[in-house]
Amino acid sequence: MAKKKKSSVKRKSTKSKAMVYYFGKTKTDGDGTMKELLGGKGANLAEMTSIGLPVPAGFTITTECCKKYYDEGENLPKGMEAQVEAAVKTLQKETGKKFGSVSNPLLMSVRSGAMVSMPGMMNTILNLGLNDDAVVGLANQSGNERFAYDSYRRLINMYGDVVLGVDHHYFEAEFDKVKQKQGVKLDTDVDTQGLIQLCDLYKKVVKKHTGEDFPQDPMKQLYLAIEAVFGSWMQHRAVRYRQINEIFGLAGTAVNVQSMVFGNMGDDCGTGVAFTRNPSTGTNKFYGEFLINAQGEDVVAGIRTPQPTEEMPKWNKKVHKELMDIKKTLELHYKDMQDIEFTIEKGTLFMLQTRTGKRTGAAAVKIACDMVKEKLIEEVEAIKRIPAGDLTQLLLPSFDPTAKKAAKALTVGLPASPGASFGKPAFTAEEAVERSHAGEQVILVRKETSPEDVDGMHTAAGILTSTGGMTSHAAVVARGWGKCCVAGAGEIHINEKTKKFTVNGKTFGIKDVISIDGSTGEVFAGEMKTIEPKLSGDFSKVMKWADKYRTLNIRTNADTPADAKRARDFGAEGIGLCRTEHMFFEGDRITAMREMILAETKKDREAALKKLLPYQRKDFVGIFTAMKGLPVTVRLLDPPLHEFLPHDAKSQKDLAGILGVKPAVVKQRVAQLHEMNPMLGHRGCRLSITYPEILVMQVTAIVEAAIACRAKKIKAIPEIMIPLVGTKKELSILRELAEKTIAEVKAAKKVRANLGITIGTMIEIPRAALTADEIAKDAEFFSFGTNDLTQLTFGYSRDDINGFLPDYLGQEILERDPFQSIDTNGVGQLVEAGVKNGRSTKKDLKCGICGEHGGDPASIFFCHKVGLNYVSCSPFRVPIARLAAAQAALS
Amino acid sequence: MAKKKKSSVKRKSTKSKAMVYYFGKTKTDGDGTMKELLGGKGANLAEMTSIGLPVPAGFTITTECCKKYYDEGENLPKGMEAQVEAAVKTLQKETGKKFGSVSNPLLMSVRSGAMVSMPGMMNTILNLGLNDDAVVGLANQSGNERFAYDSYRRLINMYGDVVLGVDHHYFEAEFDKVKQKQGVKLDTDVDTQGLIQLCDLYKKVVKKHTGEDFPQDPMKQLYLAIEAVFGSWMQHRAVRYRQINEIFGLAGTAVNVQSMVFGNMGDDCGTGVAFTRNPSTGTNKFYGEFLINAQGEDVVAGIRTPQPTEEMPKWNKKVHKELMDIKKTLELHYKDMQDIEFTIEKGTLFMLQTRTGKRTGAAAVKIACDMVKEKLIEEVEAIKRIPAGDLTQLLLPSFDPTAKKAAKALTVGLPASPGASFGKPAFTAEEAVERSHAGEQVILVRKETSPEDVDGMHTAAGILTSTGGMTSHAAVVARGWGKCCVAGAGEIHINEKTKKFTVNGKTFGIKDVISIDGSTGEVFAGEMKTIEPKLSGDFSKVMKWADKYRTLNIRTNADTPADAKRARDFGAEGIGLCRTEHMFFEGDRITAMREMILAETKKDREAALKKLLPYQRKDFVGIFTAMKGLPVTVRLLDPPLHEFLPHDAKSQKDLAGILGVKPAVVKQRVAQLHEMNPMLGHRGCRLSITYPEILVMQVTAIVEAAIACRAKKIKAIPEIMIPLVGTKKELSILRELAEKTIAEVKAAKKVRANLGITIGTMIEIPRAALTADEIAKDAEFFSFGTNDLTQLTFGYSRDDINGFLPDYLGQEILERDPFQSIDTNGVGQLVEAGVKNGRSTKKDLKCGICGEHGGDPASIFFCHKVGLNYVSCSPFRVPIARLAAAQAALS
């Protein structure tokens, strides 16, 4: 949204706009709503000033200036300097201080501040304004010569590094020399003379490496510093940070120029940071830390250990009380938990920053509920405020934060399925099953997984793959189960034969425990302590609120009664995708399945299918029972048959033995079914066109199961979904066959009642979306299979995307992995067209989504916008979807 | 078009429409323009009657009735019978004959006749109206009892077989018994008594197998016969014929009921068929055959050998003169070569059919040119009339028709690349090269081909594959070269190890010559004589006319100077697609290419690319020279790198030796580059994003080649095409890099002049078409890569489609292979959107097509309609494209 708005801002309009916004006692130009223009920090400094909080005066240069800076080939925009000068004049007047003054010099901090916080990613310069004169002034004014020169040397160092590009270690080297000379070890032990000398040495370093003198003109210092802040917007780490955090469409960073206050002028000074409530648990208790006689940077740097703010009264009761009052003021004003920075200069408290505090999912839920109770906010506001995606944290185990802090990750893969787990590596699915049954806790470690591996994946405590993306087989299946999975950890090299893997020079075998964090993609050596989740009453309350406002229905993707039940407990209102292929892998089934695939004649195929029928029927009875009274969309067999066949010689031989044919026959048939691009091959409804008997068996199982449930007074509502339709005719033929089968089963079972079975299709082929008006004639519902639709619309194979995805994200070709969050520009056009075209034929056509996107908040917003009836997602994402759907409805 | 028109015909309107159209002296309801309603035969019978030709009177039941027949559950439409009865009455009055009369019985033929001719595919009944009374009448009237009973037994046999479904062999058995009894061998030797007896025996056969008597009521005979003709419309062979010949959207067949005339009443009778000009060469000479004392069916059945019509004057001068007059009348009236059927009954000539005659491509060209000379038609009409696709026949060798007639095909594959060839099987590309160099003529026989095989494919006389479709690698490459190829001949089982293939029980080794016909897909044992093509002056004339009217430019897909030259000779106006990947397979190049792919660092990669640069430059100099003054669109490297690597252990070892690494390294890297779905993998512009140095090398080669040409006063017009773009950003990044490279090469070569190199992209990813407005910002041209666009829009892999395509065509899910002729409904929507979106950004954006569809006439019509600037096709299709483009412009 922000992006669109931005791009419509024309250059002309920015020309006439103010580029500099002052805040202070004299006047305050901005306010807290102007984050887009002034950045989060700038807007809040203005806002805090307005509501009377003690904020050092200053001004903010707009984000638009940053944009113009780049638009104009990295030159400060015309007219800006005049506005800056005027603001500096006002500031000098208000503070009574003067740039470069030997009596009362004006010193300033220059800080970045975009609309969205990017902590530590951009440049800051402190003590700006110091020069050979002003340093004397500062010494006079503070009565502390050592402090003055320490401030000066810090400026030269920071300025040299950040603005002039002189490497930090050149300054370090000089400092070391001085310390050596003075025979001391700590910076703080160097005396005033040493620091005076150091300032000279530092100036020489600048001269040597830049060819120019350290600028003595404070205005020049200021302009160069502003440019440096602008420049930091596009430096690599900042760009990367925005990508990782999916921050897009910002104009640039603002620059906050503020008169300095010092927390390091003596023991009546200090600095601190705090959250107005506990950001980890959400408890309504001020949660801060402070350091006496220190600058803000010292708290962050972690050199000295700060004290909790509870200890502050012992040091300065008045300041503590002021801080507690400010907490109240801020929360009353902002109606949210705040993350603040403050400084105490000679016993006077100054606020340097306030912003909405980041919090864990659990804290978000608790704070929102508490604030409703405290009547600070309304229910609707509470719903809007909880980041839906963060709810996952509440539902899955995680690593003990303390343990994790101490450990170093071996490598980082993709956070494919959240949760945390540990175990010993198993290198094949069979091994995982065997060792699990023998009581071991194993992590299945594979290059990639295939449907053959599901048994092993299910018994393993977690899954780690070296290839494959966020929607690879491993990732999708694991998310469905809520099982922890790290995928595509490309630095891991697996040797299945020797049962070992190596990662960055270290080797792990079947005896070496590893821990994997599916929420971050981290892999650790050894066993790490995990914490089990507990669901609070607040969580239920939030869910109840969400259900009140959302209009989208939430279904789940589930293939087993257990998954179905879990999803129902999480609030799923039906199954949007019940895949039938996983059902064929267990025990005897796979043999019958393979028999069916290898059959040479329709008769043999039907004989094999007859063996599968009772299994399928039983599966469906289980699922319909778990979901009684709610709809269950059953997708008919989808993957290419090749996936069900054994690929190694031994398994082929075993199968040949069972089937009573020569191994060569099995081998040949497997080779024959091999496809160059199985994703685009003989699968989905194409199978039923070629082998209608497969559809007949599956539909028979569905109908028989529905009838069996009916007999037990269990209300089954099956919806038969025909996958991979690209033409109307495919659906017409298969729909007719399915209807005929339903009628035949009913006749055979002597059932006359309407079973209410509907027939629909997945829209996952671009052509289906484009011709949805035709297809809708034979469909009672559409379910958008946005996984395959994304593959085809982009021409990306989910299994192979890792070959270039990192480059695509790195170069901002893609804003995010399109398999995680729907590409509204491209794929979205097809979804929208599909809905529109389909409903042009059938006004009330039920439309849903069953791709992985169904559990992604941004995608859910899109689904709401284009008028879908429901989204379907993996069980553990159901709460996320409920909340995101409410947020979409309220937005 | 016909389809759309059809579907808008509402039931209501047909109700009030006449269902029966009479033709005769009394009145003639229809005319030659009403083919859609009356079928081709019916419309022309009416037309011939109107212009005074001797046509036996009768009536036509409309195709709409056939449609209604099916719409109403295979029942004759209401109201039809009354109209039929009225027509029969008129007919009786006009002829003075009467149904079932013992003195002068009315006999009729009942024939099918759809809008498009489907020879032999539907049912015909002759002599209808005969019964136990009428046979006496016929004997009386003809004065030939034997003839009368022979006619009657023919009716019972034909009617029993076609209408009542009694198997023909039951009748045959009875005939054999009679012949045995009479001690004769030939049907014609059975005497009158024998035939009378036979009629009784035949009636018993009918009774026995249907439980009912042979119907004696002529009206009942008629209605059942009409139903049988309607029924034949949907019988398997008719449906299949329509599919194969791509005949779609017809309402059904008409039924032509016509009073019988007999060519078999005696030696003053006869029957014949003729073309008004030679259908094979086009020579303006009446080309017919006739049989004395025979029925039309006898000519077709080929039991007796007919005489050429030149011999007719010896038999009946008057009739021959009449026939020659009719030839003139018909051609003057229809302004086209006609295919006629006639019968002479007792010295009187009757016309039974006329229709536009089918002809070879050569004949089509000659007839069109001759008729312009004869002032029968205008130039524009001549252009419209030549089936563009048939021009291929003029350009490629073909088998001697006589030789082919005598031979039986071993199997039939897909007619992947036209032409005819023979040779001894070679089972690997290397073998093909070696044996060709040793002087053997070989046919490369492979399961499928890959880019590794191009050398072998090029030296082979033809290519035969057992898998792969019309756009498989083998097919595409072969068509590009005009080399004969039969693809996907699934009955062929190849054993590469033993160097043998078997087909339907026969085995062929390296010594056994085979012949393949790429225009039909046939494979023959032994050497078959081929005929080389000669291009006539008429051909050039047609091409000149076409160029006058067409607005589309025609380019070619060519990768070598030889192909470029050939295409230019055929009239290509530039290269629309110059693939660069084929260039990397020869000799040293492939080694450098593999070195590049296996390089671990950018530096190593650049070193390998440096070796490839001179080759590429030389390639481009050659192509630019061949195409001087015309644009050459060079597509940057497109296929996944895996395709360039060796896949067998020996080649991997060899490569490892050359590169000085361990074979395991090569093996591992090959495995690492393997993709599940290479079509959707790391290819196209994705390669240049990851390895920009590849693009830099290719662009450098292009620019250096352009500069080298310039130095030789050769005007090179390169257009750089970036493939597989799905997002604007990809194109922006690569365009910038290409522009930078161009500037750098120019600077290095001290060239200041504008080289006029443009940069554009292929639109082959659905998302690119959907977001073409964005992409157009960075593109100077779009080239629609409809091969890949079809793959992605349908989700079909060209390599794997044969697994289900036969079923899809068989069940009419697809009207035709969408890789041969563009799917205007689905893929077409994206092309249209791409053009529209692109031009919404850049009004004059140059748009072309370079997929296989560029040489398909129907697709060219579509390209014209959506406003493309050019189509690009393989060299041998350039003339087709020129003509089809003119036809599109004139349509």
B380 CA to centre of own chain = 24
What per-residue confidence (pLDDT) applies to B5?
A: 39
Calculate mean pLDDT across residues B70-89.
93
Compute the distance between CA of residue A810 and CA of residue A817 in angstroms, rounded to an integer: 11
Q: Determine the residue of chain B that is closest to A813 in CA distance.
A: B729
B240: three-class secondary structure by DSSP: helix
Q: Using 50, 70 and 90 to split pLDDT, how confident is the model at B417?
A: confident
Compute the distance between CA of residue B427 and CA of residue B442 in angstroms, rounded to an integer: 10
Q: Determine the residue of chain A that is closest to B725 in CA distance.
A: A794
Calculate mean pLDDT across residues B13-32.
84
What per-residue confidence (pLDDT) applies to B98?
A: 93
Compute the distance between CA of residue B442 and CA of residue B453 in angstroms, rounded to an integer: 14
Q: Which ipTM score applies to this complex?
A: 0.81
Q: What is the least distance, in Å, from the CA of A862 to any CA of chain B?
A: 18
What per-residue confidence (pLDDT) applies to A303?
A: 61
Residues A161, A166, A172, A178, Cα dihedral to 10°: -110
Q: Which residues of chain A have pLDDT under 50?
A: 1-15
What per-residue confidence (pLDDT) applies to A229?
A: 94
pLDDT of B9 strictly over 70: no
Q: What is the least distance, in Å, from the CA of B454 to any CA of chain A?
A: 19
Q: Using 50, 70 and 90 to split pLDDT, how confident is the model at B418?
A: confident
What per-residue confidence (pLDDT) applies to A79?
A: 92
> Which residues of B are known catalytic residues?
473, 850
B61: three-class secondary structure by DSSP: strand
What tens digit of pLDDT does each residue of A258-281 get?
Answer: 999 999 888 999 999 899 999 888
B726 contacts A678? CB cut-off 8 A: no
pLDDT of B600 strictly over 90: no
- Token digits of residue B671: 């495995």
Length of chain B: 891
CA-to-CA separations, A231 to A67, A156, A475, A528, A685, in angstroms, rounded: 11, 19, 39, 41, 55
A675: three-class secondary structure by DSSP: coil
Choose the closest CB to B792 out of A686, A733, A792.
A792
More confident residue, B437 or B615: B615
Q: Please report which helix (H) or strand (E) contains residue B137, including its range.
A: helix B134-142
Burial of B623-634, coded b for 16+ CB within 10 Å and e otherwise, reads bbbbbbebbbbb
The residue of B792, B817, B829 whose CB has the most chain A CBs within 10 angstroms, and thus the best one to mutate to test that interface, is B792
What tens digit of pLDDT does each residue of B685-732 get?
Answer: 999 999 999 999 999 999 999 999 999 999 999 999 999 999 999 999
Residues 6+ apart with CB under 8 A from B20: B59, B60, B61, B62, B80, B83, B84, B86, B87
CA neighbours closer than 13 Å in the CB half-sphere of residue B420: 22
What per-residue confidence (pLDDT) applies to B1?
A: 35
Calculate mean pLDDT across residues B106-115.
93
> φ and ψ at A507, to 5 degrees?
-115, 140
Residues 6+ apart with CB under 8 A from A166: A160, A205, A206, A209, A210
B766 contacts A826? CB cut-off 8 A: yes
Q: How many CB atoms lie within 10 A of CB B146?
A: 17
Across the A/B interface, how many CB contacts are shorter than 8 Å? Answer: 162
The secondary structure of residue B98, as a DSSP letter, is B
What tens digit of pLDDT does each residue of A373-417 get?
Answer: 999 999 999 999 999 988 987 888 889 888 888 889 999 998 888
Q: What is the least distance, in Å, from the CA of A787 to any CA of chain B?
A: 13
Compute the distance between CA of residue B302 and CA of residue B2 in angstroms, rounded to an integer: 36
Q: What is the least distance, in Å, from the CA of A769 to any CA of chain B?
A: 9
Burial of B383-412, coded b for 16+ CB within 10 Å and e otherwise, reads bbbbebbbbbbbbbbbbeeebbeeeebbbe
CB A853 within 8 A of CB A888: no
CA-to-CA separations, B252 to B14, B15, B43, B108, in angstroms, rounded: 14, 16, 14, 22
What per-residue confidence (pLDDT) applies to B799?
A: 85
Which of the residue ranges B15-19, B23-27, B171-175 would you say has the lowest mean pLDDT? B15-19
Compute the distance between CA of residue A30 and CA of residue A45 in angstroms, rounded to an integer: 9
> φ and ψ at B564, to 5 degrees?
-60, -45
CB A489 within 8 A of CB A506: no
What per-residue confidence (pLDDT) applies to B170?
A: 94
Task: Give the predicted TM-score (pTM) of the model.
Answer: 0.82
Annotation says A236 is catalytic: no
What per-residue confidence (pLDDT) applies to B20?
A: 97
Burial of B292-303, coded b for 16+ CB within 10 Å and e otherwise, reads bbbbbebbeeee
Q: How many CB atoms lie within 10 A of CB B59?
A: 28
Calculate mean pLDDT across residues B661-672.
87
The residue of B473, B800, B808 whose CB has the most chain A CBs within 10 angstroms, and thus the best one to mutate to test that interface, is B800
What per-residue confidence (pLDDT) applies to B121?
A: 66
What per-residue confidence (pLDDT) applies to B672?
A: 83
Q: Determine the residue of chain A that is closest to B677 in CA distance.
A: A677
Q: Which residue has the tokens 């209408």?
A: B163
What per-residue confidence (pLDDT) applies to A512?
A: 95
Annotation says A473 is catalytic: yes
What per-residue confidence (pLDDT) applies to B360?
A: 81
CB A480 within 8 A of CB A851: no
What per-residue confidence (pLDDT) applies to B10?
A: 39
A797 contacts B726? CB cut-off 8 A: no
CB B338 within 8 A of CB B275: yes
Q: Determine the residue of chain A that is closest to B823 in CA distance.
A: A767
B767 contacts A826? CB cut-off 8 A: yes
The residue of B770, B829, B837 whose CB has the most chain A CBs within 10 angstroms, and thus the best one to mutate to test that interface, is B770
CB B444 within 8 A of CB B460: yes
Per the prediction, chain B carries an average pLDDT of 91
B813 contacts A690? CB cut-off 8 A: no
Q: Which of A484, A578, A850, A863 is catalytic?
A: A850
Burial of A610-635, coded b for 16+ CB within 10 Å and e otherwise, reads ebbbebbbebbbbbbbbbbebbbbbb
What per-residue confidence (pLDDT) applies to B6?
A: 39
* Chain A residues closer than 8 Å to B814 by CB: 727
What per-residue confidence (pLDDT) applies to B587?
A: 77
Compute the distance between CA of residue B852 and CA of residue B871 in angstroms, rounded to an integer: 10
Per the prediction, chain A carries an average pLDDT of 91
Q: What is the least distance, in Å, from the CA of B861 to any CA of chain A?
A: 21
User: A145-162 and A168-182 helices cross at what angle (nearest 10)?
Assistant: 150
Q: Determine the residue of chain A that is closest to B769 in CA distance.
A: A826
User: B602-626 and B692-711 helices cross at what angle (nearest 10)?
Assistant: 30
What per-residue confidence (pLDDT) applies to A13?
A: 40
Compute the distance between CA of residue A131 and CA of residue B14 in angstroms, rounded to an integer: 99
